Structure 1
Amino acid sequence: MTLNEEALQPAPAWWTDAVVYQIYPRSFADSNGDGVGDLGGIRQHLDHLQDLGVDVVWLSPIYRSPQADNGYDISDYRDIDPLFGTLEEFDLLLAEMHERGIKLVMDLVVNHTSDEHPWFVESASSPDSPKRDWYVWRDGVDRSPADGRTEPNLWRSAFSGPAWSRADADPSGQYYLHLFAAKQPDLNWENPEVRDAVYEMMNWWLDRGVDGFRMDVINFIAKVQSDLTGSSEHFRMGPQIHDHLQEMNRRVFAARDAELITVGEMPGVTVDDARLFTGADRLELDMVFQFEHVDLDRGPGSKFDNVPLALRDLKASLSRWQTGLAESGWNSLYLGNHDQPRSVSRFGDDGRHRVESATLLATILHLQRGTPYVYQGDEIGMTNAAFSRIDQYRDIESINWFGEELEAGRDPAELLEALRYRSRDNARTPVQWTPGENAGFTTGTPWIGVNPNHDTVNVETDRAAGSRSIFDYYRRLIALRHESPLVALGCFDLLEPEHPALYAFTRTGDEGRLLVAANVGGDDLEVPLLVEGPWGAGSLLLGNYDSSGPAAVLRPWEVRVLRA
């Protein structure tokens, strides 16, 4: 490439070397003692985020809501729920983040609203309502022989039970569609008035100063309307999805600066799909959240049908996305979030080797090509909740599934074991700030139980742990991404794809090569690669053990990053 050709190449997007931190507000920090995290609590811990070095904070929903699904059921898109604070407090939080160089991303939930949103209240008031077609309504179907159900089709809600319900206020007897809880009716994106209202709302938030959106189940907005009385589940990735997203880009993002970020959560998306959604010339999204790697330990039954995860399958999945989006598109990198179990409990060893496995998992995630997402508490190695009774759970999905399966005659102990591993509440216990009462989260009674291991696993203790501080290790990882073009943009190559315990890959670019070699297991692992070729003379850039071991042996859950 000539100098002139190089000068014509577009500069990499700013988010290629950025790191995003997700806050689940009700569980982050409580400033007023009511037991629920709030905006004031986030403001109190902005120094924590700045010290970590993150570039973006993504807030799970803080809009006004009846809280049937912890805020993902929105009744007013332009107000803050009193549980979390006020618009004035939000403006203060936004300003203080910007002063620290941190961008703020809102959660955009526009596949559905709350059934208490004025749009739905009006829609359900009469079949002749001007907003009737803002939601998806259909007549029931009389099935023969009668099975006791008359819903328009056999679609199931993600939170158990049918995906169709009748509204008490509706005199027609029609059913409305809700792919999630009955209190979360789906918007009808085929109606241009709905799209206009959504785009207006998005612009309102961007005008207020927010820096982008994480879009909840955004591929569900494109439903195949002709199939709404059939039995196949054509409620996602309809052919109009690209039209909707390109229209959104034109109406909301096109006239604004390039400092925004857009990420779409897309269950069921493939690599080929993601290449279309995130290709720079497509003008749709910057990146997507895909679910392939977090479905590998899901059995053939439900989400709660857990099966063992083979490392070779995880490597193959993540590598396929690295390769598939290498030339066009971009990856979002995550192992955990508010909907997934704690990553160190799921993919690592949350007992004896909690520190080592937490830092190993962070390394193999952050040193791949894409934008890494840190979920609150990962930076200190927080673990699954350790709940043992159903009354300890708060998640609507977990509670509904337990009740439905119990009614079907399953053993409650078996159900609780499945929840202990998979429930979304594993990620929703309060952030553990101190070893004191309620982990320093609240002076009141927490809305959900604090993990009993908070006396040893907490921010205060971890940050004082010297070379065994997970927080400090995360800080070094994030700094490495900021400083090294190799980490941000280097080519990815997976090594030893079939090895059952070694996770190794290289990153290659004009600045040289990096090797990441990780022992994903509790026994010593001989790795001749570490002393062969250029790596034998390479320098150790980062590692999660503070003392030298045999050059060709990785100790339990050890990871090394070498520069050739």
Structure 2
Amino acid sequence: MNTHHNDQETAGGPATDWWTEAVIYQIYPRSFADSDGDGIGDLPGITARLDHLAELGVDAVWLSPFYPSPQADAGYDVADYRDVEPLFGKLADADRLIADAHARGIRVIVDLVPNHTSSAHVWFQAALAAAPGSPERQRYVFRDGRGPAGAEPPNDWQSVFGGPAWTRVTDPDGRPGQWYLHLFDTAQPDLNWDNPEVRTEFLDVLRFWLDRGVDGFRVDVAHGLVKQADLADWQEPQEILSGADADRPRPPMWDQDGVHEIYREWRRLLDGYDDRILVAEAWVEPAERLARYVRPDEMHQAFNFEYLLAAWTAPAQYAVITRSLEATDAVGAPTTWVLSNHDVVRHASRLGLPVGTPRPNGIGADDPQPDAALGLRRARAATLLMLALPGSAYLYQGEELGLPEHTALPDEARQDPTWERSGHTERGRDGCRVPIPWEADAPSYGFGPTDTSWLPQPTSWAEYALDRQRGVPGSTYEVYRTALRLRREHGLGRGTLRWLSAGDEVLHFGNGGVGVLTNFGAAPVPLPAGAEALHASGPLDDGLVPTDVTVWYRTA
């Protein structure tokens, strides 16, 4: 079995706890680095850029899916869980990437998509060719329709991407047949996790990648695998976020108690290997429900989306941080903080919208535009606040450059299925997925050897290129790099938060020997007497902390 340790991580505690304080960097493979000039990023491109991640100071990378796929949903429609999509390279390229990352002390987490397969998967093709009630169909969620001749869908569920969550198949004899469930795109049929064959298959997929040396799995739609047994109608809007309270029951397709049995079985398998982890992408509220995914015999981490969604005010930040830490402390797990990923508007743009704006699903040229300077200022402050919190943190590729959302993407270039399925009412996620800039004066800003990129890059991105920021004091890249170094030196990830004050305008806490102050108010505020600034998200004003700036300090 593969074992490796980063000495910088193990110095402060047992290696087996690396995930409790790790900073993990998400790579979206098609947009990180293109080695062959086809305009699509690939695994050899990532391998060639690993030194950037080592210099930045991250502990691990998480790779969005690189498996064979028709790419109906950017690779989250998996046709084969044990190979590499030719667009991205070969299996040997994955092996080399894992080995080269490990040689730099960087662990590798891969994406696992267990809620659904691609409609091109051999299992689904077999299900289409087989009869109702057959073993092939029982791997998925097939049902007879309602109404005369079964012409109506089995229930009223809607796809997260818009439109019905059911599609009717045509039987081999040409007649209309049963319906299959797809909570996402029609090309993403949901698996039936009540079927033992499905459970056995995924245990084998886990083993396949663990034996190749991967350090863990980010589990896509981790709250969706088990559906309420009666598939009852849900007369509410379909959202991926599952929140239940006294006025609203839990949705029948999300966060069912049966998912936990699956993850306990996976955890038993992972515990037979060294230091491997499971990360839940579970859009679940409240925090107490999310914490169930990281109980001691289940997953190791769960993304804190309630934190990502929280408004940029001191009271909102105080409330979500307190609630999150209390919920995960209750099950003995770390909290996993995140501000951006491949599914949401980048936080350098999101925070440039008026405070309290509902989270947009993409921003187009004719939508209200973020204030770019304000957004970046707040994004840097938010990141320094996040990186000072105890627990693990995730970064999304390009945020260390201060990249904004591409809000002027031509609509004809959009590829996210949300755009079409919503009837062009939701711009979707392409704006945060644009290939990132490495060199200001190179073709495609250094993304690849040609000017081609699968989504067009805005001309303004030259100024964000890595080579314009590396070594430049106060650049966003250097703010991140310094923060990661100090976070490690001061053990902030494994520390304990103690509130020093939490008013309407200032958030102020201590973690070990470091004080952290974020000013949300309009007037500059002083640091405590005797404080020596260690790091700040922006320049101080005669020793005062300006609006939308976070400072790390120590007391002399």
Is the alpha carbon distance of 1:558 and 1:70 closer, same or farther for their aligned partners in structure 2, counting shifts above 3 Å? same
Counterpart position of 2:260: 242
Distance of 1:550 and 1:266 partners within structure 2: 44
Counterpart position of 2:196: 192
TM superposition shift of 1:311 = 5.3
SS state at 1:78 partner: coil
Instruction: Answer 1 or 2: which has greater helix percent.
Output: 1
Counterpart position of 1:527: 525
- Which digits, 9 at most, give the CA deviation of each residue in 1:229-279, with x for residues without a partner? 6657401111212211112222x212112x112110011242212332213
Distance of 1:462 and 1:424 partners within structure 2: 26
Say if 2:28 and 2:64, in contact at 8 Å, map to a contact too. Answer: yes
Counterpart position of 1:254: 271
1:178 maps onto 2:182 in alignment: yes
- Which digits, 9 at most, give the CA deviation of each residue in 1:156-202, with x for residues without a partner? 00010000002345666111000000000000000111000011111
Is the alpha carbon distance of 1:316 and 1:497 closer, same or farther for their aligned partners in structure 2, counting shifts above 3 Å? farther
- Which digits, 9 at most, give the CA deviation of each residue in 1:17-49, with x for residues without a partner? 311000000011111111100011111111101
Counterpart position of 1:555: 546
Counterpart position of 2:3: none
Distance of 1:440 and 1:399 partners within structure 2: 31
Say if 1:17 and 1:482, in contact at 8 Å, map to a contact too. Answer: no
Counterpart position of 2:329: 326
Say if 2:278 and 2:300, in contact at 8 Å, map to a contact too. Answer: yes
TM-score when scaled to structure 1? 0.84
1:204 maps onto 2:208 in alignment: yes
Say if 2:168 and 2:176, in contact at 8 Å, map to a contact too. Answer: no
Distance of 1:60 and 1:178 partners within structure 2: 21
Counterpart position of 2:17: 13
- Which digits, 9 at most, give the CA deviation of each residue in 1:531-551, with x for residues without a partner? xxxx311222212345x5333
Distance of 1:314 and 1:116 partners within structure 2: 43
- Which digits, 9 at most, give the CA deviation of each residue in 1:105-127, with x for residues without a partner? 00010100000100111122122
SS state at 1:179 partner: coil
1:111 to 112, 115, 134: 115
| Letter matched to residue 160 of structure 2 | A
- Which digits, 9 at most, give the CA deviation of each residue in 1:364-402, with x for residues without a partner? 111112211110000010001022542132211133224
Say if 2:500 and 2:508, in contact at 8 Å, map to a contact too. Answer: yes
| Letter matched to residue 548 of structure 2 | W
Is the alpha carbon distance of 1:289 and 1:235 closer, same or farther for their aligned partners in structure 2, counting shifts above 3 Å? same
Say if 2:26 and 2:394, in contact at 8 Å, map to a contact too. Answer: yes
Distance of 1:355 and 1:340 partners within structure 2: 16
SS state at 2:264 partner: helix
Say if 2:69 and 2:75, in contact at 8 Å, map to a contact too. Answer: yes
2:227 to 215, 223, 228: 223
Aligned pairs for 1:279-428 within 5 A: 279-280=295-296, 283-295=297-309, 312-327=315-330, 328-348=332-352, 351-353=372-374, 356-387=377-408, 389-403=410-424, 405=425, 419=427, 423-428=428-433
- Which digits, 9 at most, give the CA deviation of each residue in 1:476-505, with x for residues without a partner? 211222222344222243732433xx3x23
Say if 1:344 and 1:350, in contact at 8 Å, map to a contact too. Answer: no
Counterpart position of 2:161: 159
| Letter matched to residue 554 of structure 1 | V
State, as a whole percentage, how many aligned pairs show the same letter: 37
Is the alpha carbon distance of 1:13 and 1:198 closer, same or farther for their aligned partners in structure 2, counting shifts above 3 Å? same
Counterpart position of 2:529: 536
Distance of 1:329 and 1:48 partners within structure 2: 30
Aligned pairs for 1:17-56 within 5 A: 17-56=21-60
SS state at 1:104 partner: strand
Say if 2:315 and 2:502, in contact at 8 Å, map to a contact too. Answer: no
- Which digits, 9 at most, give the CA deviation of each residue in 1:83-108, with x for residues without a partner? 00000111111111111111110001
| Letter matched to residue 550 of structure 1 | D
Distance of 2:342 and 2:66 partners within structure 1: 14
TM superposition shift of 1:561 = 1.0
Task: Give the length in aligned residue pairs.
Answer: 506
Counterpart position of 1:96: 100
Counterpart position of 2:516: 516
State which drifts further: 468-477 or 48-57.
468-477
1:470 to 476, 496, 509: 476
Counterpart position of 1:410: none
Distance of 1:111 and 1:60 partners within structure 2: 15
Say if 1:152 and 1:228, in contact at 8 Å, map to a contact too. Answer: no
Counterpart position of 2:355: none
| Letter matched to residue 239 of structure 1 | D
TM superposition shift of 1:317 = 2.2
State which drifts further: 353-362 or 28-37.
353-362
SS state at 2:47 partner: helix
Is the alpha carbon distance of 1:402 and 1:515 closer, same or farther for their aligned partners in structure 2, counting shifts above 3 Å? farther
Give unmatched runs, 5+ long, in structure 1.
1-8, 298-308, 406-414
Counterpart position of 2:9: none
- Which digits, 9 at most, give the CA deviation of each residue in 1:332-351, with x for residues without a partner? 11110000111111124763
Is the alpha carbon distance of 1:397 and 1:467 closer, same or farther for their aligned partners in structure 2, counting shifts above 3 Å? same
| Letter matched to residue 542 of structure 2 | P
SS state at 1:124 partner: helix
Is the alpha carbon distance of 1:363 and 1:487 closer, same or farther for their aligned partners in structure 2, counting shifts above 3 Å? same
State which drifts further: 468-477 or 319-328.
319-328
TM-score when scaled to structure 2? 0.85
Aligned pairs for 1:490-501 within 5 A: 490-493=496-499, 495-499=501-505
Say if 1:157 and 1:179, in contact at 8 Å, map to a contact too. Answer: yes
Say if 1:34 and 1:444, in contact at 8 Å, map to a contact too. Answer: no
